[in-house]
Structure 1
Amino acid sequence: MDPAVLRGDMVDSLQHESKGVVRSTWLSAAMRSVPREAFVGEEQAYSDRPFERLGTRVLSPSTAARLLEALDPDADDDVLVVGAGVGYTAAVLAERVGEANVQAIDITRRLVVDARTNLAEAGYEGVLVDRRDGAEGLPEYAPYDRILLEAAAVRPPRALLSQLAEDGRLVMPLGTNEQTLATVDPDGETQRLGSVAFQPMLVEGEQADTIERNRTRREDREHARRNAQSRTGWEQNWIDWDG
């Protein structure tokens, strides 16, 4: 089936009162325009469910829509996406504010490469994607009118709040086991918008493709592997069972 038709059906379902997560005209138009199959593959592009890719969770379309409605960017806003993932939400935002006004960061190098590739394939190569620690933001391009954090944290990262424009807005999942979608202003004033469930924000060393720096853990694991593969006593050819 034509992907454009599938996109239309997806957005129609997200606008339907049974879900009601797409309410804005701009978001409806943007999600109908962005070829989601360039980011997640044709088989999973238009099903409304999350899944794993390269060690990260790809948001379902309905969850992405909730984040973007809460973000509510104006047409000329500067936007930072923290947790670029596969790059889909950055592409939808580019439809609203323009490619040059969207920057995205991720702590996992292979996700940065994947997001860059996907955005270029989808026609949004003007979106900047860089490898950074999400908690530090991207101060070189600050201030931002909107910052979207696609990972949960106990409290709003201080660096991200400091990179907001005077009337800016941070949108993030707030909490640990029990999370709520929240909007936060530069002074830390918070509005909660309902429950969500996101993976926690990673710090340096926790990403899936990191080099393990603890030598003891590496060596213990290697010794355990070798012991598991070694032959037991009765299998050893050097034992003289008749002596």
Structure 2
Amino acid sequence: MGAHALHKDLEDLAAEARAELVDRIDASGAWADDPVWREAFAAVPRHLFVPYYYVGVRGGHERRWGESPDARARERWVRGAYADTPLATRLRDGELVTSSSQPSLMAMMLAALEVEDGDRVLEIGAGTGYNAALLAHRLGDDDLVTTVDLEPDITEAARQHLAAAGHHPVVVTGDGARGVPERAPFDRIIATCALTSIPPAWLAQCAPGARVLAPLATGLIVLTVRDPGSAEGRFLPTPAYFVPLRGEGRPEPEPASLGGVPRQAREDDLFRFLLDLSRGSLTPQEAYQLWEREGRPPRGRYGLTVSGGDEWGWLDDPEGPYAWPLRLP
């Protein structure tokens, strides 16, 4: 009797916390362009996707767990599950391997994806499965959604969380950079891991006119696919920091010397974005001169073009004068 009542209390608390989260995202304007996402976030229970997570404490991390014997700890767990913050869900040797992204950022990305009824969607980076559940709920058809992750323990956990929430999209274990050719063609691809360039396999698996949204260089690029080898688009104005895509041929960026770049610029988020986007093509000193000359441009002025096996970033106009090749794996 006591346990059942407690379970009901937790469910009531989860429903209340979920409604508060939805109101908070609503107020942020994240889904203003596609308010249908409000219903998905209101319906999909995030706590089922984070049965435990880690919060930073002095000297390390503290694990919050839905099955804790301490009632107050369980309450902290469920409230934290609906905070508008990213949640660390998997650590290895103290390093973050997987997280559940900040819900308002997820909402903004999903709205920017411009999903339409009947779209076939590929998600790169299954994570907890929460994003795939939101997509499946929005599309009303689990089979339209495919999500891929490199590590079997991550995909297995995502499958279990999705089943607990009543969804069964296709969950694939594999290298996200290769896409999922057997499930192609896709109308939308969304990545929840940071890239250094756009993998060619993705465009090859897209239908003409498809939309690709991916974190790249601490920004979010939105590409329109013209044909299997070409796409172009601009960055959203929002900063975005994600765990890097893991898999074959993903180079570790080499630190560049910032000598001669003023400290104020080194610490500026917009300059760091340009530095990441132009790494390997512009020296930090060249990037700084461009940044100052062009009035410290925000992310929305930058774009990316993929064509004929090449990729290049640009400022304002893909034809230049400010364009530079991306370093490909």
TM-score (norm 1): 0.78
Point out where structure 1 has 5 or more consecutive residues left out of the alignment.
207-243
Q: Are 1:11 and 1:22, in contact at CA under 8 Å, matched by a contact in 2?
A: no
Aligned match of 1:94 in 128, 136, 140? Answer: 136
Deviation of the 1:196 alpha carbon: 1.2
Alignment of 1:174-193 (within 5 A): 174-175=216-217, 179-186=218-225, 187-193=230-236
Is 1:8 matched with 2:44? no
Deviation of the 1:7 alpha carbon: 1.5
Aligned match of 1:53 in 58, 67, 89? Answer: 89
TM-score (norm 2): 0.58
Name the SS for the 1:185 alignment partner: strand
- In the alignment, the residues of structure 1 paired with residue 155 and residue 138 of structure 2 have an alpha-carbon distance, to the nearest angstrom, of 22
Amino acid at match of 2:46: R
Aligned match of 1:64 in 106, 111, 114? Answer: 106
Aligned match of 1:138 in 164, 177, 180? Answer: 180
Is 1:156 matched with 2:192? no
Q: Which one has the largest radius of gyration?
A: 1
Deviates more, 1:132-141 or 1:55-64: 55-64
Deviation of the 1:22 alpha carbon: 2.4
Higher RCO, Cα 8 Å, sep 6+:
1
Q: Which residue of 1 aligns with 2:209?
A: 167
Point out where structure 2 has 5 or more consecutive residues left out of the alignment.
1-11, 52-77, 91-96, 251-329
Q: Are 2:14 and 2:79, in contact at CA under 8 Å, matched by a contact in 1?
A: no
- In the alignment, the residues of structure 2 paired with residue 2 and residue 157 of structure 1 have an alpha-carbon distance, to the nearest angstrom, of 42
Q: Which residue of 2 aligns with 1:230?
A: none
CA RMSD of aligned residues (A): 1.6
Deviation of the 1:44 alpha carbon: 2.6
Amino acid at match of 1:9: E
Q: Are 1:74 and 1:96, in contact at CA under 8 Å, matched by a contact in 2?
A: no
Deviation of the 1:5 alpha carbon: 2.5
- In the alignment, the residues of structure 1 paired with residue 112 and residue 196 of structure 2 have an alpha-carbon distance, to the nearest angstrom, of 19
Deviation of the 1:4 alpha carbon: 2.4
Name the SS for the 2:81 alignment partner: coil
Q: Deviations over 1:164-193 (max 9, x none)?
A: 111101100112xxx211111222202110
If each structure's strand is expressed as a fraction of its own residues, which one has the higher value? 2
Aligned residues: percent identity? 35
Name the SS for the 2:195 alignment partner: coil
Deviation of the 1:133 alpha carbon: 0.1
Q: Deviations over 1:42-100 (max 9, x none)?
A: 24320011121123122011121121111121021100111000000000000111211
Distance 1:166 1:86, change over 3 A: same
Amino acid at match of 1:11: V
Name the SS for the 2:115 alignment partner: coil
Aligned match of 1:196 in 240, 256, 272? Answer: 240
Q: Which residue of 2 aligns with 1:39?
A: 49
Alignment of 1:219-234 (within 5 A): none
- In the alignment, the residues of structure 2 paired with residue 172 and residue 145 of structure 1 have an alpha-carbon distance, to the nearest angstrom, of 14
- In the alignment, the residues of structure 2 paired with residue 205 and residue 120 of structure 1 have an alpha-carbon distance, to the nearest angstrom, of 33
Aligned match of 1:21 in 21, 30, 35? Answer: 30
